[in-house]
Every structure is written in C-alpha cells, then in structure tokens.
Amino acid sequence: MVRLSLGVLGLMELCVSALVHLLYGFYVFSTAAAGDLSQALSDCFRPHAVNMAKEKVVVPLDGSVPPIVLVHGIFGFGKGRLGGLSYFAGAEKKDEHVLVPDLGSLTSVHDRARELFYYLKGGQVDYGEEHSRIYGHSQFGKVYEQGHYPLWDEHHPIHFVGHSAGAQVIRVLQQMLADKEFKGYENTSEDWVLSVTSLSGALNGTTRTYLDGMQPEDGRSLKSICLLQICRIGVIVYDWFDISLLKNYYNFGFDHFGMGWRKMGISGLVDLLLGNSGPFASGDWILPDLTLQGSLKLNSSLQTFPNTFYFSYATKRTKKIMGVTVPSGVLGIHPLLFIRVLQMCRWRFPSDAPPPYKGYRDEDWEDNDGALNTISMTHPRIPVEHPSHFVVDDADCHTMQPGIWFVLLSSAQ
C-alpha cells in the first residue's frame, strides 16, 4: 500500500512537472512570436526607421579587440533564434565584439564544440569521421559561408563565456584545439583561447539529471517513466515533422541525425520512439554528458592550460539549519524553483549502485541552485581536482594569473 501511494505521488509530480515545463516553453515561444509581430506592425508605420536599419553597416571584427563569445546552456539558443529574444539579456546587441552562436540546444558537448569552431572560422561543420560512425549520424553539418571570426588564431585569441553546459563546451573545444583535431587546421593550439569564464557551469555534472530521469546506475540510459522521456518523445516528433518555419525559429540541433519524415518515414518514426535509433538511442545528446559519470569521462581528457585565464561564478540557493541543508528561503524565489532546490538537497545516490567516482559523498552535493550543484560549478574536481583559488574580497583580484580557476561564490539568503 505504501509503495502504491508513493508511486501515485511520483506520477502526480511527473504530470505537474511536465505540464509546468510545457507551459513555460509555450510562454517563451509565444512571447518571442508576439514580440516579432509587434515589431513588424511597428515597422509598417515607421518605414523611415526600417530603411535606416537596412542601411546600417556592420563593422567586421578586425582582431584589434579580442571578441567575447557567449555560449548558451541546455535548451538555450543563439542570436537569430526565437525572434528578438536574447539568451544573454541582450549582451550581443550592445557591442559588435560580443558573439552569441546558436548551437544545438540538446546535442552532445562534443558536437556543440565542433559547431562552435566552424561558427567562428567558417566552413562546413565536421563532427569527425570516427565520432560520426560510432554514433550513427552524418559527418558533416551546417555550412558557414563566412566565419564570424576567421582571423581566430593564437595571435587573435578569444574570451569565452559559458553558461551551464556551455562551460564544458568551451573546455572541450580548447582541448580539441590543443590536440589539433580539426582537419585542415594543423596550427591550432590551446592558446587560441585567452580566457574561459564559467557562469554556473556544469563543470562536474549535476544530480538534477537523475531526478529528471537519467539512470544513476550508468548515467546514460533513461528511466521508463520520467520527465526526460516526455522530452525525448516531444523532440523526436518535433524533428520528424521537420517544419521549416518552426525549426528556423527554434532548433534542438539534431539535423545531422536526419530524423525528418522525408528520410525516416513512419517506420523510422517508430524506431526513434522505441529507442532503436537516433541520438537518444546512441547516447549522443547533452544529458549523458551532464551526469556525474558522463562528466568524469569528459574531464578525464580535459586540461587546465597554463596560458589561459579561468574564472568561475558559482551560485547556490541553500543554507544550513542545524546541520541540515535546506532552501535558503521562499521569498525572492519562484515556488517551483524552491521545490527543485529542495529535491536536490534531499537526493541520495542509490546505495545499491556503484558510486560515480572514488570519494563520492552525498553531502558534498547538497548545495545547489535548483539546476546545478554548487560543488560542480566552482572548478573541475573529478576525477582530478584542478588548481583553484576562491575569491573572498577585491584584493584577491590583484593577483590574477593564468592556469588557475578563480572562483566567486554567490549565494542567496
């Protein structure tokens, strides 16, 4: 009876969570559409302003000032998607040296890193022959006729800023540059990256992935009934219908898997839904990379380089009361975010599953902001802890040096 009651409560929670996420997605989508419609109607009555906008000359990046590239996180989007909405609060509209690439919102960290390189240098995205063969998708993707910063090299390095999963994308890209993994670009190096700034970055994964449906036993497969299963089905159907108008507005980034109805047909759709093919079957999507096991695998091959500056801004919405970690408050925080923070505070790794890494302790992962654990945001820790320095006051900023993660912790009381 108790087990049945818990099952019913879990199902109710799943339904509410799915409904809230669906409504929020619809709200964002409709807000963007309404904004575009309003702008179009406004332009009809201001033809002079429209002509002025068309005549405005975009100053190309000449390398005199290092550009700042902002990399979005999961479910994010770059400039040109969702109409006039901006993932980074309009930063790209304030300075032409700020670039916001549109990368796959649910594609793997590896695929997004490859896309980021060609977005900057130009050319057709090459996901790598071996990687593409292993995960069953096309080796080549979108073509950038003109790179957004073709001058990019060690003499014209870039400042990178990544939010959430975007931080790992930057680190993987820097490692690829160091390992000279881009065919036709034999002179790449880690020094093409001037600085890396992580904003609540998923540097070591997040236990949120398990709460939303990833299996903690392996960190790759999905539970049969969970929020991520609903997400998976929605993405498959969205990509299968392949409606250009919608995909130009928002794209999950799986075009190189060829999941459209013209190629897959009805039988292909069934295979995708049953988990026999596609990114969710092969594991080549973002969620496995955000589990603790997936992050450990990624971090095992990623370095902190001696000539690059590293900065990290970590956040938390928790505090200790009599030794128990709880949400920091109900005021100034959305009720649903409060619940998510509480869930992550109380989550425990299954006792019958192997720990994700040597030395894992549940209490280390209790502090969080509702999406990521604070311990994950500070600096790379697993499987090997990288050099770091926690910034306590402004005096700590006068001794900045490369090759060390400078960490600033922001907490809400």
Q: pLDDT by residue (tens digit) across 261-304?
A: 999 999 999 999 999 999 999 999 999 999 999 999 999 999 99
How would residue 85 be classed by pLDDT, with cut points 50, 70 and 90? confident
- Lowest-confidence range among 14-18, 134-138, 279-283, 294-298? 14-18
pLDDT at 60: 53
Kindly state the tokens that stand for 329: 């408050």
State residue 351's pLDDT score.
93
Q: Kindly indicate the confidence band of residue 7, based on its pLDDT and cuts at 50, 70 and 90.
A: low
What's the pLDDT at 56?
Answer: 41
Note whether 104 and 252 are within 8 A (CB): yes
Strands 318-321 and 324-327: antiparallel
- 273 burial (CB, 10 Å; 0-12 / 13-18 / 19+) is middle
**In angstroms, what is the C-alpha Rg of the chain?**
22
Higher pLDDT pick, 347 / 16:
347
Which residue pairs, CB below 8 angstroms and at least 24 apart, start in 257-262?
Answer: 257/136, 257/137, 257/138, 258/137, 258/138
Contact by Cβ (8 Å): 382, 216: no
* 230 vs 213: CA distance, rounded Å: 10
CA distance 103 to 167: 13
CA distance 308 to 403: 6
CA nearest neighbour of 294 among 104, 165, 113 = 165
Q: What is the pLDDT of residue 8?
A: 63
Phi, psi dihedrals of residue 199, rounded to the nearest 5°: -105, 105
Report residue 251 as tokens.
């794209």
Provide the pairing of β-strand 309-316 with 193-199.
Answer: parallel
As a whole-number percent, the residues of the chain with pLDDT over 90 amount to: 74
Residue 337 has pLDDT above 60, yes or no: yes
The per-residue pLDDT for range 222-243, each reduced to its tens digit, is 999 999 999 999 999 999 999 9
Residue 53 has pLDDT above 80, yes or no: no
199 forms beta bridges with 163, 313
**Do residues 139 and 156 make contact, with C-beta atoms less than 8 angstroms apart?**
no
